[in-house]
Amino acid sequence: MPKTVMIVDDALSIRGLIRMTLENAGYAVIEAHNGKDALNRLAGAAPDLIIVDIYMPEMDGMALIRTLKSDARLKFIPIVVLSKEADPQMKEQGRQAGVRAWIVKPFKPDTILSVTRKIIG
């Protein structure tokens, strides 16, 4: 059974690039277009890793991260932020909220794959 990664990003092109990269490496992928969509999809699934954008409509990435970390069923799922946000204070907020890694856009697909392998194998 392949390990599963959830991608939460409002940009279809980013989700597609990450999906292709991870599926080609043998991972299963679940996509969500914002935090609310992710929470709905997580009702029936618990992925091995979640990759989250910060800036999204309806529910942004930081709100999603805080919600996930307060849920007993989901709080131990590792989270990686993938965002154009590079501010050290925002990164520190993410670290304090439980983020395992922070990747700044633009990114190389190999970076996503490397971080994913390091965190979940």
So what's the architecture of 4-120 in CATH? 3-Layer(aba) Sandwich (3.40)
Mean pLDDT for 73-82 is 96
What was the pLDDT predicted at 17? Answer: 96
Residue 32 has pLDDT above 90, yes or no: yes
pLDDT at 38: 97
Check pLDDT > 90 for residue 15. Answer: yes
In the chain, where the domains are located: 4-120
pLDDT surpassing 90 at residue 44: no
pLDDT of the residue at 99:
96
Residue position matching structure tokens 């990747």: 103
What is the mean predicted confidence (pLDDT) over 90-104?
94
Q: Is residue 11 over pLDDT 90?
A: yes
